[in-house]
Amino acid sequence: VCRSIGEGHYITFDGFQVEIIRSGQFYTLLLGKHISLSWDRGTRLLVHISAGRVCGLCGNFDGNVNNDFTSSNNQLEVDSSHFGNSWKVIPSCADVTQVPLPCGDNTMKLVTVEQSCRLITGPPFKECNSQVSPYVEMCVEAACSCPSVGDCACFCDVVAAYAQACSERGLSISWRSNDLCPMSCEELNPKIPGVGEELCQWRYNTCGPACPITCQHPDPLQCSLTCVEGCHAYCPPGKLNSLSNVS
């Protein structure tokens, strides 16, 4: 990005105009009608693209999971390490020969981790499980990298990523609690007594608009993302939120 043309509007070096929208935990970069990138300033990056025109480590997005291990020389691999190695960008990097076990040889930790990850196949997500295959393997891998299981960003982010996939299919799931990956929006609300009702209030929402109408973007935007999790502004009728209020 090289030129800023007002808040949230940028022109890249090749003259392409992009828009940056902030909503909930995410910054969404709208790159024309067909590509958007949403980043939570942490470990979650959601990429929305038109189907069938990509290749690489994330598959080719043609709706067929059986050909996702297509290597860079267009061969279908069986072994995940061969597939991964084929997409290596820096040739001098060593090839992966053995895929490491998620928790190494710490079986005690693995048991605890697997137990925590049962959350995504448990009651709150049951309805979603039939629509989106649960991210169990991803959860185990992430939670194994946590120093302790429970309130750990890696674990919480995988569950949140799964919940996001559910939201995108119209199933918004409230899974966070005070004990499990808590998220609060209260601290964003102004603490001036008497005038609070006049101002927009921040409230947590599992599925708030990804491209909300704000002072910076008063007209609805074409946004391929259904919704995003996080703190969303609820304003009195006739008022719009200004993004500059968000710290």
Rounded least distance, CB 57 to Ca ion, Å: 12
If one asks whether residue 49 binds Ca ion (CB under 5 A), the answer comes out as no
Residues 47 and 26: their CA atoms lie apart, in Å, by 12
Rounded least distance, CB 46 to Ca ion, Å: 18
The number of angstroms, rounded, from the C-alpha of 136 to the middle of its chain's C-alpha atoms is: 16
If one asks whether residue 64 binds Ca ion (CB under 5 A), the answer comes out as yes
Stretch that binds Ca ion, among 11-19, 68-76, 178-186, 191-199 (CB under 5 A): 68-76
The candidate with the shortest Cα–Cα distance to 222, out of 51, 48, 26, is 48
If one asks whether residue 60 binds Ca ion (CB under 5 A), the answer comes out as yes
If one asks whether residue 68 binds Ca ion (CB under 5 A), the answer comes out as yes
Closer residue to Ca ion, CB minimum distance, 16 or 87: 87
If one asks whether residue 17 binds Ca ion (CB under 5 A), the answer comes out as no
Residues 29 and 39: their CA atoms lie apart, in Å, by 8
- Its sign, for the CA torsion 19, 36, 203, 239, is positive
Q: Quick one: which of 11, 35, 59, 132 contacts Ca ion (CB under 5 A)?
A: 59
Number of residues that bind Ca ion (CB under 5 A): 6
Token output for 33 = 């009608």
Measured CA to CA in angstroms, residue 16 lies from 8, 13, 47, 163, 207 at distances of: 14, 7, 18, 33, 30
If one asks whether residue 77 binds Ca ion (CB under 5 A), the answer comes out as no
Closer residue to Ca ion, CB minimum distance, 63 or 91: 63
Contacts of residue 220, Cβ cutoff 8 Å, sequence gap at least 6: 211, 213
Footprint of Ca ion (CB under 5 A):
59-60, 62, 64, 67-68
